[in-house]
């Protein structure tokens, strides 16, 4: 038996059919809309874009790089001993004067070592004094023996003369003369031996004294070094400047020679930069560089290039002709251009934000007076003013240098 269908159910089925149809129609309409737009339905105001005329001319080639302003001179402060941080007197960013204490280190162990070194130095001083007294006594005793022997030899010489005189008068004998001569010769040899012993002993004692003096000098230098270490216990600033780094964790341990602070001289600056490995061969020491800070350009020179790359980039340093320019601020990122060659006659367009390096670009080119057409263009070397065109554009054409990334899906634009 047939059942009568209610009006509400018929209405619900009708709505369902329309929803299914809409699910197919809407995407088609959207695609059609975007297709028509891509064909050339989109327009742009001529007052919102900038044109550049393609021309021929010379270009000084340069490689673009990014960099950062840093102090021209920074001094790293190291911990004088292995210790522990007890107190912090400053914070990074503070202006400091030479001698300003930055940290307080625990120097109890160093103070004990200092007292031991001081006692050892005093002992060595006393030992040197005693050695000098002992040497003087030994040399004085030898000199006395030489004087006594010298008098004895003189006496023996007189005895020889007397015996010879008596023998010539017949009152003496030849044996007594020979005995006197033998005694005299023996005395001379003994005197000569004593004098040589004095020379040798003087050299030996002088050598011992020199060794003691050197040992005392080493002890004094150790003591002075420990005194300096103790004087550095509050880690004083080495010069006037800005504290750019400080190990300020109270209670943490630091090793001897570990970096605990960095003080930069903010009266002069330099640029630390890096360039991709593929372009690193274009950057050489001595090359001219232009550093752009906002609308200000500063001249500089590449000072050095690191031999190894870091994370796919090669670091280098640029010194500035005007290193104290007021626009220079530490930590500010800058754009710079390093010159590496010159081309006499090339097709070129003015540089703009659209350029990010050699390669293929899709730029809008004026087509008559009322339309822009998207064209593939090959760009080459550049500098801060010009970009070399190696394909896709001819002299006299007008190309848009404004960034039109919002219209990257359109092949043609209308000008209003």
Measured between its terminal Cα atoms, the distance across the chain in Å is: 70
Residue 75 binned pLDDT confidence (cut-offs 50, 70, 90): confident
Q: In terms of domains, do 299 and 400 share one?
A: yes
In a domain, 118, yes or no: yes
* Residue pLDDT, tens place only, 148-186: 999 999 998 998 888 888 878 777 677 888 898 899 899
Q: Which range, of 45-49, 64-68, 139-143, averages the lowest pLDDT?
A: 45-49
Is 9's pLDDT higher than 70? no
- For residue 341, the model assigns a pLDDT of 83
- For residue 6, the model assigns a pLDDT of 58
Q: In terms of domains, do 50 and 163 share one?
A: no
Is 31's pLDDT higher than 90? no
Identify which of 80, 146, 93, 56 has the alpha carbon closest to the alpha carbon of residue 329. Answer: 93
Residue 22 binned pLDDT confidence (cut-offs 50, 70, 90): low
In a domain, 363, yes or no: yes
Tell me the percentage of the chain whose pLDDT exceeds 90.
23
- Which is it for the CA torsion 348, 349, 350, 352, positive or negative? negative
Q: For tokens 């010379």, what's the residue?
A: 58
Q: In terms of domains, do 299 and 377 share one?
A: yes
Retrieve residue 337's tokens. Answer: 């251009």
Q: In terms of domains, do 401 and 302 share one?
A: yes
Retrieve residue 297's tokens. Answer: 């350009």
- For residue 7, the model assigns a pLDDT of 56
In a domain, 55, yes or no: yes
User: What CA–CA distance (Å, rounded) separates 17 from 22?
Assistant: 9
- For residue 40, the model assigns a pLDDT of 45
Other beta carbons within 10 angstroms of residue 372's beta carbon come to: 29
Burial of 69 (0-12, 13-18, 19+ CB in 10 A): buried
* Residue pLDDT, tens place only, 293-310: 888 889 999 999 998 888
Find the CATH number of the domain harbouring 163: 1.10.287.1490
Which one-letter DSSP state was computed for residue 6?
Answer: P
Taking CA atoms, 215 is separated from 39, 222, 313, 365, in Å, by: 94, 11, 53, 85
User: Within its chain, how far is the Cα of 157 from the centroid?
Assistant: 82
Average pLDDT in the 70-77 region? 87
Retrieve residue 383's tokens. Answer: 């500098």
User: What CA–CA distance (Å, rounded) separates 65 from 23?
Assistant: 52
In a domain, 219, yes or no: yes
Helices 108-169 and 174-231 cross at an angle (nearest 10°) of 170
Q: Which residues contact 189 (CB under 8 A, 6 or more apart)?
A: none
Which one-letter DSSP state was computed for residue 277?
Answer: G
- For residue 107, the model assigns a pLDDT of 80
- Of 178, 212, 231, the residue that ends a domain is 231
Residue 211's domain comprises 108-231
Q: In terms of domains, do 45 and 122 share one?
A: no
- Of 231, 260, 281, the residue that ends a domain is 231
Retrieve residue 50's tokens. Answer: 């900038």
User: What CA–CA distance (Å, rounded) separates 48 from 34?
Assistant: 23
Q: In terms of domains, do 354 and 414 share one?
A: yes
Find the CATH number of the domain harbouring 277: 2.40.30.170
Which one-letter DSSP state was computed for residue 47?
Answer: G
Inter-residue contact 230 to 110 (CB < 8 Å): yes
Q: Mean pLDDT score of the chain, rounded to an integer?
A: 84
- For residue 45, the model assigns a pLDDT of 79
In a domain, 239, yes or no: no
Retrieve residue 110's tokens. Answer: 């160093």
Burial of 63 (0-12, 13-18, 19+ CB in 10 A): buried
- For residue 25, the model assigns a pLDDT of 61
- For residue 277, the model assigns a pLDDT of 87
- For residue 33, the model assigns a pLDDT of 46
Is 240's pLDDT higher than 90? no
Higher-confidence residue of 5 and 19: namely: 19
In a domain, 119, yes or no: yes
Q: In terms of domains, do 210 and 316 share one?
A: no
Q: In terms of domains, do 280 and 407 share one?
A: yes
Q: For tokens 């129609």, what's the residue?
A: 25
- For residue 8, the model assigns a pLDDT of 60
Number of domains in the chain: 2
In a domain, 238, yes or no: no
Retrieve residue 139's tokens. Answer: 């040399």
Q: Which residues contact 315 (CB under 8 A, 6 or more apart)?
A: 272, 273, 274, 305, 306
Q: In terms of domains, do 224 and 273 share one?
A: no
Q: In terms of domains, do 46 and 178 share one?
A: no
Q: In terms of domains, do 278 and 413 share one?
A: yes
Q: In terms of domains, do 195 and 276 share one?
A: no
Inter-residue contact 66 to 409 (CB < 8 Å): no
User: What CA–CA distance (Å, rounded) separates 411 from 168?
Assistant: 146
In a domain, 247, yes or no: no
Average pLDDT in the 102-113 region? 82
- For residue 319, the model assigns a pLDDT of 93
Is 344's pLDDT higher than 90? no
């Amino acid at each position: 038996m047939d059942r009568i269908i209610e009006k509400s159910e018929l209405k619900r089925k009708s709505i369902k059919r329309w929803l299914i149809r809409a699910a197919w129609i809407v995407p088609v309409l959207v695609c059609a809309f975007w297709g028509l737009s891509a064909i050339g339905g989109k327009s742009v105001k001529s007052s919102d874009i900038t044109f550049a005329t393609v021309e021929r001319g010379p270009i000084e080639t340069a490689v673009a790089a990014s960099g950062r302003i840093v102090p021209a001179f920074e001094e790293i402060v190291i911990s004088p001993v292995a210790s522990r941080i007890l107190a912090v007197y400053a914070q990074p960013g503070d202006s400091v004067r030479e001698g300003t204490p930055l940290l307080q280190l625990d120097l109890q162990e160093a103070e004990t070592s200092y007292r031991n070194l001081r006692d050892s130095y005093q002992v060595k001083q006393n030992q040197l004094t005693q050695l000098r007294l002992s040497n003087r006594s030994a040399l004085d005793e030898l000199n006395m023996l030489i004087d006594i022997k010298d008098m004895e030899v003189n006496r023996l010489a007189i005895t020889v003369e007397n015996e010879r005189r008596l023998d010539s008068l017949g009152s003496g004998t030849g044996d007594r003369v020979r005995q006197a001569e033998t005694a005299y010769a023996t005395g001379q040899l003994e005197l000569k031996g004593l004098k040589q012993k004095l020379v040798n002993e003087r050299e030996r004692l002088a050598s011992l004294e020199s060794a003691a003096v050197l040992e005392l000098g080493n002890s004094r230098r150790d003591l002075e070094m420990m005194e300096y270490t103790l004087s550095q216990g509050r880690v004083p600033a080495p010069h006037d400047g800005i504290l750019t780094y400080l190990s300020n964790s109270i209670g943490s341990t630091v090793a001897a020679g570990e970096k605990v602070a960095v003080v930069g001289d903010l009266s002069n600056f330099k640029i630390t930069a890096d360039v991709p490995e593929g372009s690193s061969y274009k950057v050489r020491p001595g090359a001219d560089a232009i550093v752009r800070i906002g609308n200000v350009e500063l001249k500089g020179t590449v000072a050095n290039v690191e031999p190894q790359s870091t994370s796919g980039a090669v670091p280098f340093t640029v010194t500035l002709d005007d290193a104290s320019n007021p626009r220079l601020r530490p930590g500010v990122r800058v754009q710079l251009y390093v010159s590496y060659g010159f081309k006499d006659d090339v097709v070129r367009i003015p540089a703009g934000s659209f350029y990010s390096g050699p390669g293929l670009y899709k730029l809008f080119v004026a087509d008559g007076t009322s339309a822009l057409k998207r064209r593939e263009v090959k760009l080459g070397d550049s500098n801060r003013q010009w970009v070399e065109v190696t394909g896709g554009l001819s002299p006299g054409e007008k190309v848009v240098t404004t960034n039109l990334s919002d219209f990257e899906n359109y092949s043609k634009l209308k000008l209003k």
